[in-house]
Structures are given as C-alpha cells and as structure tokens.
Amino acid sequence: MKKYLVTGCAGFIGSTLTDKLLNEGASVTGIDIFRDYYDVSIKRRNIASALVNPSFTLLEKDLSTGLDFLSSFIDSSDELVIYHLAAQAGVRKSWGTDFRIYTRDNIDATQNLLEWAHFRGGIKNFVYASSSSIYGVPAILPMTEDKTVPIPHSPYGVTKLAAENLVRLYTANMGLPSASLRFFTVYGPRQRPDMAFNRFIRAALDGKAIGVFGNGRQTRDFTYIDDIVHGLRLAEDSTKGLSMNLGGGNRVTLLHSIETLAKVMGREIGIEFSESKLGDVPDTWASAELAMIEMGWKPSVSLEEGLSQEVNWLLSSS
C-alpha cells in the first residue's frame, strides 16, 4: 500500500499539503515537534481538521534527535512518499547563537531522515522543501537552476542549501529517489505570522501603518500556497534528484504588492520604512521553466486573487 510521510505537518505549507493528501483519500503520517518559533496554537489550528481524519496519524517527535521511533508506525511493506517540510524557517533570526537551531532543524534533521529512508528502502520519492534563499544575490536574473550558482546570503540559506546537497548526495551515492523544490516566498491562508503579507494584513486590519524593511523597491516572486502544493503533488513522480524552482508569475516590488493589498482590502495602507535587515536580498525572480518541462508545473493564482484569500482567512481566524 502507498503511504505518505509529511514532516513539518503542522506548519503553514505542511498542514496545507496534509489536508490536500487526506482529501485525495491518502493515508498520511505527519511528524511535527511544534517548535515555538511562532505561536504554537496556530499550528494546533492548522492541523485540527487532519486530526479528526482516521487516515491521519500525528507523531509529535523531533527529527533532529533520531528516527528510531518511526519504523513502528510505518509498515515495512508500504511504498512510502516522503515530503520533508520540517525546518527552522526565517532568514532574519538565523544569525548569532540561534544559528544552532538552524543547523539542528535544517541539517541534522534532514540527515537523520535521509539515513532512515536509505536503510528502510521502499521509498517512492523523497521530496525536499528547499528555498529561493539558496541563491543569494546573483548578478543575473531570473534565478535559473543550471545557470545561477547558489551562494546564499543568509545563514538560513546556507542550511537550506546544505540540506539540499545532502539530499542530492543520497541520490547520487545510494540511489535514493528524490526531488528538491526551491520555493519562492509562499503566501496565502495559514501563512506564518512572521512573513510580510501576514504582518501587513493584520496591521491594516488594525488600522495601523505597516512596517517595511528597506525602501520597498525590493522585488519578490510571490507564489500562492495552492500552486506550491500542486507542485509538491506533481513532484511525487519526479524521482531523478533534480532541484527545481517553484515560483514565478507574480514578481513585483514590495511597494506594488502593498498597492495591490490596499486595492483588495478597499482601504488606504500607511507605510513605515525602516532599515533593511541583515540577510535580506534585493530581488528574487524564478525561472519556472524546469518545473514546467519536468513536471508540467505552472503557477496559476494571481497576486490579487491570492491576497484576497489570505485576507479572508485572517478575517475569519481573528
């Protein structure tokens, strides 16, 4: 029987993927240790509907301390698709002593899971959630998998690239089927509260000015959550060990995105500018050609449509 393992299943992207798989009728085991990087009650809400589904099992376990517990929950004869989304996210906090958290949850945890997957066998695919942060500040845009040399600009990006390289070498050395998907600024319902649109919308709903780091002319290739989840599902069958960008279609300046948000919310939005933060990059721009060629993936949700979904979600959850 085919089974799915989703790590980081209570997070923004992991919980949305878990719900999608359960809606498809799949059997899913989720792992999440409910780190308190942001309010844990948000994660409990994210996973609430999955928890009442008999096809879902939640394991509140820490991937960074080993996976001995896992084999007793997954039948050895099952074919397994692993979606590895657990990580310590966020660029800005990855400096200083907090870097240890990033190496633990992004590198050690990934290596533990790869070892487990290799020794277990029977893996249909190991799909890793990588990031546009691995690219840093390239001289030429768009960021293209076979042309842009990945030189991260933040400690977070370094750990995401290290884990992506680990995935690649388990494929090259041990033949583990895999795909790494480089997500570009994901937004929509359940977006993490530390991310820009979530902060902007909550401030605007409270009638407050929104805080922008830098001059607002930085560009981001915003990607709607359903497009990301669609890419994750397509990646189940992409087993060659490729790294592919999942982004594109909504590359705008931050100022433009705020104008779009003001239009969607039907209100004026004030802005308070402050200095950009260490590790922030001026631009992200994905070439999505490889994901199109390999998996037939194409983003389909416009910024206006996606933002209105996120506004509605925050309105209904406040």
**Applying CB under 6 A, which of residues 6, 17, 86, 288 lies at the interface with ligand NAD?**
86
Give catalytic status of residue 224 as yes or no: no
Q: Which is nearer to ligand NAD, 77 or 97 (CB)?
A: 97
Q: How far is the CB of 94 from ligand NAD (least distance, A)?
A: 11
CA distance 34 to 198: 20
**Applying CB under 6 A, which of residues 19, 105, 145, 221 lies at the interface with ligand NAD?**
105
Site string for ligand NAD, 58-77 (x = CB under 6 A): ----xxx-------------
Q: How far is the CB of 93 from ligand NAD (least distance, A)?
A: 11
CA distance 305 to 309: 6
Q: E strand or H helix at 123, and its extent?
A: strand 123-131
Site string for ligand NAD, 135-164 (x = CB under 6 A): -------------------------x----
Q: Which is nearer to ligand NAD, 194 or 289 (CB)?
A: 194
Q: Is 129 in the site for ligand NAD (CB under 6 A)?
A: yes
**Applying CB under 6 A, which of residues 14, 142, 152, 241 lies at the interface with ligand NAD?**
14
CA distance 255 to 230: 28
55, burial (CB in 10 Å: exposed 0-12, middle 13-18, buried 19+): middle
Neighbours of 239 (CB within 10 A): 17
Neighbours of 72 (CB within 10 A): 7
Q: Is 32 in the site for ligand NAD (CB under 6 A)?
A: yes
**Applying CB under 6 A, which of residues 13, 80, 134, 229 lies at the interface with ligand NAD?**
13
Judge whether 151 and 250 are in contact, CB under 8 Å. Answer: no
- Residue labelled with tokens 């979600």: 313
CA distance 94 to 308: 31
Q: How far is the CB of 298 from ligand NAD (least distance, A)?
A: 19
Judge whether 105 and 116 are in contact, CB under 8 Å. Answer: no
Interactions with ligand NAD, residue window 174-233 (CB under 6 A): 183, 185-186, 192
Q: Which is nearer to ligand NAD, 31 or 143 (CB)?
A: 31
Q: Which is nearer to ligand NAD, 125 or 185 (CB)?
A: 185
Residues 6+ apart with CB under 8 A from 115: 67
Q: Is 272 in a helix, a strand, or coil? A: strand
Interactions with ligand NAD, residue window 38-57 (CB under 6 A): 43
Decide the pairing of beta strands 240-246 and 219-221: unpaired
> Which residues pair with residue 181 across a beta bridge?
129, 244
- Residues binding ligand NAD: what is the number (CB under 6 A)? 30
Q: Which amino acid is at 111?
A: Q
CA distance 7 to 308: 28
Catalytic residue among 4, 37, 156, 224: 156
Q: Which is nearer to ligand NAD, 35 or 233 (CB)?
A: 35
Q: Which residues bind ligand NAD (CB under 6 A)?
A: 8, 10-14, 31-35, 37, 43, 62-64, 85-89, 105, 109, 129, 131, 160, 183, 185-186, 192
Residues belonging to the active site: 156
